Amino acid sequence: MYAPPGFAAMARSRRPRLARAWALSLSVGVAVGASRAALADDAGGPAEARTDTCPSPDAVWSYIAQLVPSAAPQLFSAKGHVDIVDQGDRYRVHVTTDQGGLERTYVDRSRDCEQRTRFAAEFIVLALLPPQILLGGPTTAADAGTIPSVASTPLPNPVPGPDVVPVAPPVDKPTTPRALARPVPQKVAEAPPRGRPARRMVRLEALAVGAVSPPLLDAPALAMWGGELRVRVGAGAIAGVASIGYLPRLEFQDGAFRGSVSRVPAMAGVRTRSEVGELEISGDFGVTAVVEHYEGVSPHFPSDATVLAPGLEIGATVAPPRRSGISALAGIRASWLPLAHDLVTLPSGVVAQTPSFWLGAAVGISLEL
Q: Based on the fold, state whether residues 290 and 350 are members of the same structural domain.
A: yes
Cβ proximity of 263 and 292 under 8 Å: yes
47-63: average pLDDT: 75
pLDDT band at 183 (very low <50, low <70, confident <90, very high): low
**DSSP strand pairing (222-233 vs 238-254):** antiparallel
Give 130's pLDDT tier (boundaries 50, 70, 90).
low
CATH number at residue 317: 2.40.160.20
- pLDDT exceeds 70 at position 172: no
Kindly give, in sequence order, each residue whose CB lies less than 8 Å from that of residue 291, ignoring residues fewer than 6 positions away: 263, 264, 265, 266, 306, 307, 308, 309
Residue 302's pLDDT band (cuts 50, 70, 90): low
Q: How confident is the model at residue 332, as a pLDDT? A: 95
Query: Coil, strand, or helix at residue 186?
Result: coil
Q: Is residue 2 part of a domain?
A: no
What is the pLDDT, as a whole number, of residue 300?
A: 58
| DSSP one-letter code for 184 | P
pLDDT band at 70 (very low <50, low <70, confident <90, very high): confident
Buried b / exposed e across 27-39, counting CB within 10 Å, b at 16+? eeeeeeeeeeeee
Is the pLDDT at 16 greater than 80? The verdict is no
Residue 357 lies in a domain: yes
| Residues linked to residue 267 through DSSP beta bridges, in sequence order | 243, 288
pLDDT higher at 281 or 321: 281
Do 210 and 359 belong to one domain?
Answer: yes
* Torsion angle in degrees (nearest 10) through CA of 109, 115, 117, 123: -100
Over 80: is that where the pLDDT of 365 sits? yes
Q: What is the pTM of this model?
A: 0.46
Q: Which of 263, 345, 242 is nearest to 307 (CA)?
A: 263
Structural domain boundaries, residue 119: 57-173
pLDDT at position 249:
92
pLDDT at 358: 94
CB distance 267 to 243 below 8 Å: yes
Four-residue CA torsion sign, 349, 215, 299, 261: positive
Taking the C-alpha atoms of residue 124 and residue 61, their distance in angstroms, rounded to an integer, is 9
Last residue of a domain, one of 157, 173, 189: 173
Partnered with residue 369 across adjacent β-strands are: none
Give the pLDDT mean for 212-230: 90
Residue 35 lies in a domain: no
Q: Which of 122, 156, 173 lies at the terminal end of a domain, its last residue?
A: 173
Mean per-residue pLDDT, 196-214: 87
Higher pLDDT, 116 or 301: 116
Q: What is the DSSP string of 247-274?
A: EEEEEEEETTEEEEEEEEEEEEEEEEEE
Lowest mean pLDDT of 42-56, 66-80, 117-131, 318-332, name the range: 42-56
Candidate from 13-22, 61-70, 352-361 with smallest mean pLDDT: 13-22
pLDDT score of 162: 42
Could you give the CA distance from residue 336 to residue 356 in angstroms, rounded to a whole number?
A: 6
Mean pLDDT of the chain: 74
Across residues 75-95, what is the average pLDDT? 88
Domain final residue pick, 135, 153, 173: 173
Cα–Cα dist 301/294, whole Å: 12
Percent of the chain's residues with pLDDT above 70: 64
DSSP SS3 for 64: helix
> CA–CA separation, 295 vs 271, rounded Å?
36
Pick 129 or 210 by higher pLDDT.
210
pLDDT of residue 163: 41
The better pLDDT of the pair 119, 155 is held by 119
**pLDDT value, residue 9:** 42
Residue 217 identity (one-letter amino acid) = L
pLDDT at 230 over 50: yes
Number of domains observed in the structure of the chain = 2
> Do 150 and 96 belong together in one domain?
yes
pLDDT of residue 350: 76
Q: Are 145 and 215 members of one domain?
A: no
